[in-house]
Structure 1
């Protein structure tokens, strides 16, 4: 099973080719902007390094959100175009799924995982996972730091807003180093999805709140 995975949801762009449980090639670049420019050459580089042509892929996967509007749309447009050209499925992976999959299995087995994405508007988007699970308990939900739910047991924190949650939750939480998704973990989740071990997820943007974009007066808002 050969999967090309892309991510541009948060402050990193990454791409990886994954086959039969291992990464054949990977590239990443940190930065809050520029995913639309960074991702196409990354894809070309990892495919060349892995010696895999797009037509030989079994699937193309991308992070659908939550995250930044521009980065998500850039990654999804590229993933959908490559999948269509190759005649292969495009698989969606949430930000939380990718981050949870990057954690050691032993840590996930003993802790619920909370994936926290910073909206930059005074709220965080919380995607929660039961211990040992990679299928979230529900869709991401918005919370202010003052109104966070109380965890029922120990939680492992991932995502770019994880340090903020760790300061609030104290010794009830373990702050991990999984703050930004990596394409290799995206591919691992997509492989489980392709094998029917996780529920399907469309390769379409996952919006929890409206994008923080101000349109010129009189211009209608996009319905995408």
Structure 2
């Protein structure tokens, strides 16, 4: 049975790639044919073979099913700015249907566990009419919501979950990510508030951790909850 999810965050730098890579690594340890995609990425450097985005490279390397970079990250933009603005500056037009086609083409490769990572938050513009959430809607995959536990996360998480529900998609669950060595003030109280106010289950918490074994155990638990 194949499992496929769309990974989004409550804002940029929420930890989407950290969660995506961690889950792909957990799937690999579980012996699953896994692959991750980063269909659009802004912020890249020129390398041998062309422009490359760091997050997309991490996702490519974490996947047990190896795809060419061009399939993992079909739309790569140079400047680390809003994708639609970066595309406009490069004289390119990005459409939801084109991204959807890239994703579905890559997913024809046999797999058992696949993650499609978004860019920024849920309502990221692709052009003057379409949003990245339009791509997620067309795919119809359950959504994994990454919440970076910091001041403001309650409002952002609740609004994002509401937007996903309005788009007719299920939130498979959410992950509480602590991306700094020190927890936010009243961390436990904020976590409890989200647990009570978000209808989707809490898949797991990711404390700041430099111990690789502990990190792996956390992601193994999240994978088993999906």
Q: Which protein is richer in helix relative to its size?
A: 2
The two structures have a TM-score, normalised by structure 1, of 0.34
Structure (1 or 2) with the greater strand fraction:
1
TM-score, with normalisation over the residues of structure 2?
0.33
